[in-house]
Structure 1
């Protein structure tokens, strides 16, 4: 019997992790303080009711023989306690633990052997950010040269995809097909996707590629002709800032400031035309009298000038004292943060993030890393991430995003997208509806908890990007059971696909020296990256120490590779005919494959058909025939 996986916690995330573990075909034992073994949702699953921190309950659930334990309660202390107890009871089992505390995530995983700590916010933020920027994302993973997005292309009746070959589309837009689901016929996955197939109405194509490349195609398919345009608008932003700043200034400040400047102007004109001083000297003497009451040696001045200077001294002292008092009082009470933030808000093409909790903060990080302009809105100005986000250069408005005026100040109507990521699902729905009122075609990404509710919102309210966060994060918890090399799991057309980093660590690694092409064929792997090399130029390449190969595979095939299950070596390659031009190349192959002399190779080649090599895996045989076909040698695999 296959060793089970223990799942501790059946909250919103826990139920979705259970679904992912079931989809992967893994036997599961559940421990939850409120678990009901008669719950129909737990059909086929062994369930224990109780506190997962009790060692006798863990032992009863089978921790000592478990292949792994996934701990996803909503309490960090409970999760850490259970993880440490599980490690004590089974020193070798894989431990996957959910964490809220951002500082503990990396440290805990590094301190406890064979343990990985995951954060829901860190897992879902890349997908939500890519959805906001591109309009569609099934999943995301990272390569050395940047992120990759997994999206679905649907060939509608009037789509530009109709009649195009899959291979031509992939070359034109820089993506890799993962699955092809035709309206008529069976789905095709990974290596079996027929690049020569042409798309018909209703066909679906699941692909992965750089977000920037996919974004342009997805926007065209949706008809977003000007999506993502970032207007310069510098002057307009300054005008908005000045206008709003003036509106927020107290009336007393508005009165005394013009009076002061009018006094300066009248006095400067009097000195210039009445006494005959230069413009500069007139302004200098005016300021000196008003600001310092300085003596100008006016004994030789006309009588009227002496009276004017005296009045100016008295009026200046009163004006300066009044202006200083009123302005100081205003600045102490003023809240100009919002007005100053207005200057940094683009006129369009930015992304508005509502809510700066764990998810919101991660979203800001992801979006800024992608080079997007971001504007944030949060209710509180004393949150844990508020000042950090501001120091990142992101404008932050303090206010309730469910208030239309706040959304207008953030220019939500002309933004590339608005992400409602607050902790209130009702608030997120309200934000989405308000934004849709401002612009019916505006893209809104809504954070929700329940997949069923998210689906209802998508269908009934026509909010296409209502996304259930637990459902997005759950596959990563399941994939973490297979090791740190698994980036994520993706559900595509009813199959579970896994994105893996295969690293050749040392000379004893089972991948070292193996043919890349043979491994890909034997384990049905779809390569997407190899240590920065161009995958179009790896013919005959053999893996070496230090290589990192990122592949997509179906979960059963990855498990075969993980368990080092070598494919059956029962294939042989038979040569039927060959042209005279290929004789030299073929003779070399015969000598290498059969380990014979030149004379023996000639004798073998003279008797067609002949067996070139046998005892090969299917991948090794296929690679050998592909090499010979380039020389016009006709072969077959038996």
Structure 2
């Protein structure tokens, strides 16, 4: 493990607890970041300190005999160099490296014999974006977008039930991936809804939920049915095992199964619909930002009224509308030819005294309009220049504010923009890598080192729908959330937090809020990739994480001749789709549970963290036994 950041910390936990493999950690400074906590974890064989990942450092951690290498810290260039060096020392080693530039990562993968490039920010960003919109995040597989729906949001075309015993007053009772034979009862419960709520077995209606907030899920009562905020993944019990698995022998649970959650698929990611009328209103309001000063508005309105009156005088004297428009435009531009004294004396002037007065009035007012038009042109041209992000306009409404344009913040902003949601970004560092990316999309950016309250006011906090604070510091993110709630009590706040205790206090204090951990969401995907499994994404079921993984049956793979009965593990693994060799299409809920897999087939599974680890361990043991 090369790195001492939050992702390295979570990844070490994932490997030693779920995959039970020894880990050696290479850090730049064993006294900084998460290195001291990593050194105290059971299962860590050693922590080695080297300033950079050199050949000497790789030999110090016995790279020649290592099973896998995880590069989760440093720049893309540093990780590429380290990956190529490690392959030179151990050609068969499995290498997983973090890359922000995913396209470059795909190219590097082809240079490595056994490597995978992952992006922690790309894995976690959908959860942050979905939390800002108050809906569950989705994972794209085979052209479908999988998401978790709850209770009355479950439709008949669901893929499978992924959880039961869903009691929002006691989230520790959730049981993930229940046995198949119970599905009929769950589906019947999901469909039997009346005016007073769902029906229990035996026809007894379930009483309405008690009022009040849940300390670790304080925002659940505010969400509409089926759009409950996903898990607060920071709960230690859920993270380290006891609450993540349900013990059938435990008789202290509720008598009825409670609510349920099901995996469903959408043909496309739902966009946030914004009517053309609202967009037009925002555009008109945005145009008015050039006239925000009351004094400026008074001057411009007075000048406009004078021009209209002078135009009326000209038209009344000449009775030629086209000529009147022509001469008025020339006067506004200061290009009209005045009457000469000789012409007036000879009686050949263009008009009488009132026409001359009207033309003078229009010309003087044109002097007032010209600077405003120049300012608009300069603003439009200047906002498109490189390094000059566009500021949010006065017409910005119903938008999401993203605080921090690091890797995660940039991806969250881009994803929200792709969903049709207005976005405003805030960043203090003018050299942040995300500024160029959001500027290319025309997303406004508020920059500067002023007070946070002032920056949020410039970001139009008063009119925003949500704030997503995703800087790398927990305290900074909480400060932004509290400042936002002070400026707009109705705004939804989503905060990036690593510390579990911090997250619990955050939920207990604020309503209409959510917290997410990038490392917690990304670590399972990195751990599975180290073991040779591809995780397509993660879905939250309240405090629990559900992994969507795709496995390919290759020649010599231990998956050959296995069927769904062999692969599925109640409470751990569920096969949701099968793709046959030479067919790009996936068959969802393939009914034949006895068909054995052949080379070239693909399977998509929904699994818990421990379930995917057990599946990987079983396949590795079978492969070892065969060899």
TMscore range, shorter length: 0.5 to 0.7
Tell me: CA distance 1:520–1:567, structure 2 relative to 1, closer, same or farther (3 Å): farther
Secondary structure of 2:92's aligned partner: coil
Unpaired runs of 5+ residues, structure 1, are 1-6, 154-160, 162-167, 203-213, 223-227, 569-638
Matched, 1:192 2:191: no
Written as runs of structure 1 = structure 2, the 5 A alignment for 1:445-524 is 445-461=494-510, 464-483=513-532, 485-487=534-536, 499-504=548-553, 514=561, 516-521=563-568
The aligned counterpart of 2:393 is: 342
The aligned counterpart of 2:481 is: 432
> Which whole-Å deviations, capped at 9, do the CAs of 1:465-524 have from their partners, x for residues lacking one?
122322332222212112252335789899996532122457x76656x47444445897
The aligned counterpart of 2:602 is: 548
Secondary structure of 1:217's aligned partner: coil
Secondary structure of 1:8's aligned partner: coil
Give the Cα–Cα distance (whole angstroms) in 2 for the partners of residues 242 and 38 of structure 1.
Answer: 54
Give the Cα–Cα distance (whole angstroms) in 2 for the partners of residues 515 and 535 of structure 1.
Answer: 17
Give the superposition deviation at 1:552: 2.7
Give the Cα–Cα distance (whole angstroms) in 2 for the partners of residues 517 and 314 of structure 1.
Answer: 89
Written as runs of structure 1 = structure 2, the 5 A alignment for 1:263-412 is 264-273=307-316, 275-288=317-330, 291-294=334-337, 305-307=351-353, 320=366, 324=370, 328=374, 341-342=392-393, 345-346=396-397, 348=398, 350-369=399-418, 371-379=419-427, 383-392=432-441, 394-397=443-446, 403-404=452-453, 407=456, 412=461
Secondary structure of 1:42's aligned partner: coil
Aligned mate of 1:559, from 617, 624, 627: 617
Tell me: CA distance 1:411–1:288, structure 2 relative to 1, closer, same or farther (3 Å): closer
Residue range with higher mean Cα deviation, 435-444 or 407-416:
407-416
Give the superposition deviation at 1:352: 3.2
Give the superposition deviation at 1:70: 1.5
Secondary structure of 2:16's aligned partner: helix
The aligned counterpart of 2:282 is: 237
Secondary structure of 2:478's aligned partner: helix
Tell me: CA distance 1:318–1:491, structure 2 relative to 1, closer, same or farther (3 Å): closer
The aligned counterpart of 2:258 is: none
Contact 1:245 / 1:339 at 8 angstroms: preserved in 2? Answer: no
Give the Cα–Cα distance (whole angstroms) in 2 for the partners of residues 325 and 464 of structure 1.
Answer: 46
Root-mean-square deviation (CA), in Å?
4.9
Secondary structure of 1:457's aligned partner: helix
Matched, 1:421 2:466: no
> Which whole-Å deviations, capped at 9, do the CAs of 1:124-165 have from their partners, x for residues lacking one?
11221222234556xx643122333458x6xxxxxxx6xxxx
Tell me: CA distance 1:317–1:58, structure 2 relative to 1, closer, same or farther (3 Å): closer
Give the superposition deviation at 1:28: 1.6
Matched, 1:217 2:226: yes
Give the superposition deviation at 1:355: 2.9
> Which whole-Å deviations, capped at 9, do the CAs of 1:5-49 have from their partners, x for residues lacking one?
xx2222322222111112222222223344489977233422143
Give the superposition deviation at 1:420: 1.5
Matched, 1:94 2:94: yes
Tell me: CA distance 1:308–1:441, structure 2 relative to 1, closer, same or farther (3 Å): closer
Give the superposition deviation at 1:284: 2.9
Give the Cα–Cα distance (whole angstroms) in 1 for the partners of residues 230 and 155 of structure 2.
Answer: 17
The aligned counterpart of 2:251 is: none
TM normalised by structure 2 equals: 0.67
Tell me: CA distance 1:420–1:520, structure 2 relative to 1, closer, same or farther (3 Å): same
Give the superposition deviation at 1:68: 0.7
Contact 1:9 / 1:71 at 8 angstroms: preserved in 2? Answer: yes
TM normalised by structure 1 equals: 0.66
Give the superposition deviation at 1:87: 1.4
Residue range with higher mean Cα deviation, 490-499 or 76-85:
490-499
State the structure with more CA Rg. Answer: 1
Give the superposition deviation at 1:326: 7.5
Give the Cα–Cα distance (whole angstroms) in 2 for the partners of residues 63 and 221 of structure 1.
Answer: 39
Tell me: CA distance 1:299–1:280, structure 2 relative to 1, closer, same or farther (3 Å): farther
Matched, 1:116 2:116: yes
Secondary structure of 1:292's aligned partner: coil
Unpaired runs of 5+ residues, structure 2, are 190-199, 201-205, 210-222, 232-271, 384-388, 579-584
Secondary structure of 1:46's aligned partner: strand
> Which whole-Å deviations, capped at 9, do the CAs of 1:581-607 have from their partners, x for residues lacking one?
xxxxxxxxxxxxxxxxxxxxxxxxxxx
The aligned counterpart of 2:84 is: 84
Give the Cα–Cα distance (whole angstroms) in 1 for the partners of residues 478 and 393 of structure 2.
Answer: 25
Secondary structure of 1:218's aligned partner: coil
Tell me: CA distance 1:300–1:423, structure 2 relative to 1, closer, same or farther (3 Å): farther
Give the Cα–Cα distance (whole angstroms) in 1 for the partners of residues 562 and 502 of structure 2.
Answer: 48
Give the Cα–Cα distance (whole angstroms) in 1 for the partners of residues 496 and 47 of structure 2.
Answer: 31
> Which whole-Å deviations, capped at 9, do the CAs of 1:251-280 have from their partners, x for residues lacking one?
4x9647844x4554454444444x453333
Tell me: CA distance 1:245–1:303, structure 2 relative to 1, closer, same or farther (3 Å): closer
Give the Cα–Cα distance (whole angstroms) in 1 for the partners of residues 331 and 115 of structure 2.
Answer: 76
Give the Cα–Cα distance (whole angstroms) in 2 for the partners of residues 233 and 526 of structure 1.
Answer: 44
Tell me: CA distance 1:534–1:243, structure 2 relative to 1, closer, same or farther (3 Å): same
The alignment of Structure 1 onto Structure 2 pairs a total of residues equal to 523
Give the superposition deviation at 1:247: 1.2
Written as runs of structure 1 = structure 2, the 5 A alignment for 1:1-80 is 7-24=1-18, 25-35=20-30, 41-51=40-50, 53-76=53-76, 78-80=78-80
Contact 2:163 / 2:178 at 8 angstroms: preserved in 1? Answer: no
